[in-house]
A and B are shown apart, each in its own frame.
Chain A
Amino acid sequence: MTDLTQEQVRERIERRLAGRHRVEKTFRGLGIASIAFGILAVVILFSDIIAKGSGAFVQSAVQLEVHYDPAVLGIEQVDEESLTWANFTGVIREALRERFPEVSGRSEKRELYSLVSTGAPFKLRNRLQADPELLGRSETVWVAADDDVDTFVKSLSDSGGGFRGRTSDRMIRWIDQLLASGELKKRFNSNFFTNGDSREPEQAGIRAALVGSLLTLLVTLALSFPIGVAAAIYLEEYAPRNRWTDLIEVNINNLAAVPSIVFGLLGLAIFINFFELPRSAPLVGGLVLTLMTLPTIIISSRAALKSVPPSIREAAMGMGASRMQVVFHHVLPLAMPGMLTGTIIGMAQALGETAPLLMIGMVAFIVDVPGGVTDPATVLPVQIFLWADSPERAFVERTSAAIMVLLSFLIVMNTSAVWLRKKLERRW
């Protein structure tokens, strides 16, 4: 060092300083890049889902001039029994043949019939059931197109070519004709919200799954909120500091980090095998999710109780209230907003949970809307999982749309939790 002149030392320090500043910049840049990566992931995830799923809210439909011909239907009058047997498929086929009179030959006809969804006869049945006067008359109805047609029409509007799949040249000619005359249109897909699951994408809907989710969440809420709040009150207000209490606390913290699938194993072994509760039922799903969300609710409820200042408790005690009265009349109402926030977040977790419900058999193919907590049911995330496995292209669209519905529920729940916290929580 002594050999260096002051000038040289300064030069060295400045060179080194420039290097240090470069490192500083890089470090900062890395930080910004990380945040940008996270935000980019959110943007890509959401835009990918929306781009894939927004198409499912419309559905191609074909306009048909149907004639409710008693001869074709094979019925005399409209009643419960004749409706079950009536040949509505024949009516649809007749209408299609009339629209394209030039079609002849078996295979050609089969292709023609496959333009329309196999669910279309049910629509006619419902119309005739609603209005028996229609028998023997004609009317113009929109029936859902087959999912292959739907996929083709939707891909057509994106780019010139269109996704062919199983659609033949002849069918494409007919589709073009129908499109040109306005008899094939994309209309709002009400099936998606009113139907249960189906093997046919154009008839598959999320209603059964939504109701299943709702029932499961109701069971979860009814059990986990009171138990969670009671546990938090005991631990925060009553528990003596001893080993037993420590054990409970360690347990709760550990349970919060146990993988959700392990709770599914518990549900399978204890609730289904040991207690013989029904499989696939929202009741069992709710029980499993209760055990899973309890730690979340207990931890947040304890935090809420802790944030109520001791002066409130002391004032109430000073007025002669018993300990229970202090808690239930004063502390609990003040801590309620925090507890509710925690509960909503716990419920949002439960709503998005899939793995433990797979274990207890909620993966069954459920068409009917469940009527109670012991009926077989499925839930929205499981429905998404099932559809994601289906090979039909049209199911990709519906999976994404179901995800959009699920995410919007979660966004509403989380936003209301944030809103509740801002609106009601008091700072002491």
Chain B
Amino acid sequence: MQTPTLFALLLLLVLVAYGTGFTRAVTAARGSGGLRNLASLPGYYGLHTALWCGLPALLLLVAWIAFDDAIICAMVINSLADKPETISAQNLLWTQIQNVAAGNLFGEPEPQIAAAAEHLAALRDNSRLLKAGLTLILATGLGAFTLLRFSPQLRAREKVEKVLRWVLLACACAAIFTTIGILLSVLFESLRFFQAVPVSEFLFGLHWSPQMALRADQVGSSGAFGAVPLFTGTMMVTAIAMFVAVPVGLMSAIYLAEYAGRRVRAFAKPVLEILAGVPTVVYGFFAALTVAPFIRDAAAAVGLEASSESALAAGLVMGVMIIPFVSSLSDDVINAVPQSLRDGALGLGSTHSETVRKVVIPAALPGIVGGVLLAVSRAIGETMIVVMAAGLAANLTANPLDSVTTVTVQIVTLLVGDQEFDSPKTLAAFALGLMLFLTTLVLNFIALHVVKKYREQYD
């Protein structure tokens, strides 16, 4: 049975369970003289039955779908007479067996593989049957059991609410599971990477060329995984972006919060927010096709040589993207500075700009710093603009007109296309991902902490 049909069938069963539970309660109430003799409203009896019918079966079904392939794979591989030693060889064999089972034959398969493929097909058929059978039996069984246990004294509402509360808690924990998932996925692959490449070489090596040669005797066959050029590239692009975004964003926020009239504010604020809503791929296109050629021509006009993919183009456009981010965060903290501070400064005879520079900004500084840190973490993690406009060459350079590469660009280039999960080349992407995650995590943590602490001061 196909999975969507199974889901539909389960839904139907749940609806039937609700209906029966409901009518059961109503008939019972009618027999004993009115709804007031029930412990809960009839709808809750329906829900109670439906929950018992649907929830365990749904959990079983999802778990089955999630794990059946892995279990079948292990069963098939273990059933082989001479199974390969390494995990990668096992994976290769597994792909072969799957292909044979799916009928994608290239020539006559080895007898062992053909047998394994038959075994696989049989296991899959069994799994499909069992999945459908167990799910439906569990659903009907538990639903019927709940109906049998029905009595007017059953406190259905409380039971339903208890279950729902657990469901709500489980949803709230999704964030924790996501974080754990991210950590596990980058950590495990990174550890495997660091078995092949020492941590010190990765962190302090000056040469990055992750291409692995096909033959062992080829030139540069080992690949070099010194990530320093990536870190400097990321820092340079981020610095250029901040150089644009912080002054412009901060000054816009100050102007909007302190000087602008209501009409200017009502116009300018949403227009600036548009910049935050534009997808990054659009900025990337803009940077690669409009800004980069412009910079190249402008540099040529003053006698400088700029590459067609330059850190400057990517950084400038990224800065523009981050302007609304800085400005709205600064706007919030500037508005949170109590009016009494401004009144005091103005009363002592300072001009408006002196009030802003000497009183408002220092008072808002922690919040602004927090906002800037968040913006930095966003710039470090930004991907599409740099992928499209900063280039791929891992140059260790301080010249913003040169092309540089960043951590995110390398993650994308290493992982797009065919991957082998045992080559350091693919695993390197996860190590870079780990670095990226840790860096942004620390930045976010400090930033959120600073912002929160500051807010408490005036609340």
A-to-B contact residues, CB < 8 Å = 20-21, 23-24, 27-28, 30-35, 37-39, 41-42, 45, 48-49, 52, 226-228, 230-231, 233-235, 238-239, 247-248, 250-255, 257-266, 268-270, 273-276, 291, 294-295, 298, 322-324, 348, 351-355, 358-359, 361, 363, 381-382, 384-385, 388, 396, 399-400, 403, 406-407, 410, 414
A24-B351, A234-B172, A269-B186 known; A399 vs B285 contact (CB < 8 Å): yes
Q: Does B310 contact A (CB under 8 A)?
A: no
Q: Does B288 contact A (CB under 8 A)?
A: yes
Q: Which of A32, A231, A298 has a CB less than 8 Å from the CB of B168?
A: A231
Q: Nearest chain-A residue to B381 (Cβ)?
A: A259
B353 touches A252 (CB 8 A): no
A contact residues around B289 at 8 Å (CB): 52, 388, 396
A contact residues around B154 at 8 Å (CB): none
User: Can you sample 19 A-B contacts with CB below 8 Å?
Assistant: A27-B357, A38-B252, A39-B271, A231-B175, A234-B168, A234-B169, A261-B381, A262-B436, A265-B430, A266-B186, A269-B188, A270-B184, A298-B175, A354-B279, A354-B280, A385-B281, A388-B284, A388-B285, A414-B277
Q: Does B182 contact A (CB under 8 A)?
A: yes
A24 touches B383 (CB 8 A): no
A contact residues around B430 at 8 Å (CB): 265, 269
CA A249 to CA B127, docked complex, whole Å: 40
Q: Does B93 contact A (CB under 8 A)?
A: no
Expressed in whole angstroms, the minimum distance between the Cβ of A348 and any Cβ of chain B is 7
A contact residues around B381 at 8 Å (CB): 258-262
**Known pairs A226-B171, A351-B279 / 19 extra A-B pairs, C-beta < 8 Å:** A23-B353, A24-B353, A28-B352, A33-B251, A38-B252, A42-B272, A42-B274, A45-B278, A251-B175, A254-B445, A257-B444, A259-B436, A268-B185, A269-B430, A270-B185, A324-B161, A355-B387, A381-B281, A400-B285
Most interface-central of B161, B282, B440 (chain A CB within 10 A): B282
Q: Does B213 contact A (CB under 8 A)?
A: no
Q: Does B259 contact A (CB under 8 A)?
A: yes
B281 touches A265 (CB 8 A): no
B contact residues around A230 at 8 Å (CB): 167-168, 171-172
Q: Which of B185, B284, B377, B440 has a CB less than 8 Å from the CB of A266?
A: B185
Expressed in whole angstroms, the minimum distance between the Cβ of B49 and any Cβ of chain A is 18
Expressed in whole angstroms, the minimum distance between the Cβ of B263 and any Cβ of chain A is 13
A265-B433, A268-B415, A407-B278 known; A259 vs B380 contact (CB < 8 Å): yes
CA A370 to CA B447, docked complex, whole Å: 42
Q: Does B416 contact A (CB under 8 A)?
A: yes
B contact residues around A399 at 8 Å (CB): 285
A31 touches B279 (CB 8 A): no
Q: Which of B248, B260, B412 has a CB less than 8 Å from the CB of A38?
A: B248
B279 touches A38 (CB 8 A): no
B contact residues around A275 at 8 Å (CB): 66-67, 69-70
B252 touches A35 (CB 8 A): yes
B268 touches A39 (CB 8 A): yes
Q: Which of A234, A265, A274 has a CB less than 8 Å from the CB of B411?
A: A265
CA A407 to CA B286, docked complex, whole Å: 14
CA A392 to CA B387, docked complex, whole Å: 20
Expressed in whole angstroms, the minimum distance between the Cβ of A268 and any Cβ of chain B is 7
B411 touches A352 (CB 8 A): no
Most interface-central of A20, A230, A259, A264 (chain B CB within 10 A): A259
Q: Nearest chain-A residue to B269 (Cβ)?
A: A35
A248 touches B175 (CB 8 A): yes
CA A250 to CA B264, docked complex, whole Å: 36
Q: Does B133 contact A (CB under 8 A)?
A: no
Q: Nearest chain-B residue to A34 (Cβ)?
A: B251
A259-B440, A262-B437, A269-B186 known; A32 vs B255 contact (CB < 8 Å): yes
CA A354 to CA B284, docked complex, whole Å: 11
A258 touches B290 (CB 8 A): no
CA A321 to CA B88, docked complex, whole Å: 59
Q: Nearest chain-B residue to A385 (Cβ)?
A: B281
B448 touches A253 (CB 8 A): yes
Name the interface residues of B246-274: CB closer than 8 Å to any CB of A. Answer: 247-252, 254-256, 259-260, 264, 268, 271-272, 274
Q: Does B219 contact A (CB under 8 A)?
A: no
B436 touches A227 (CB 8 A): no
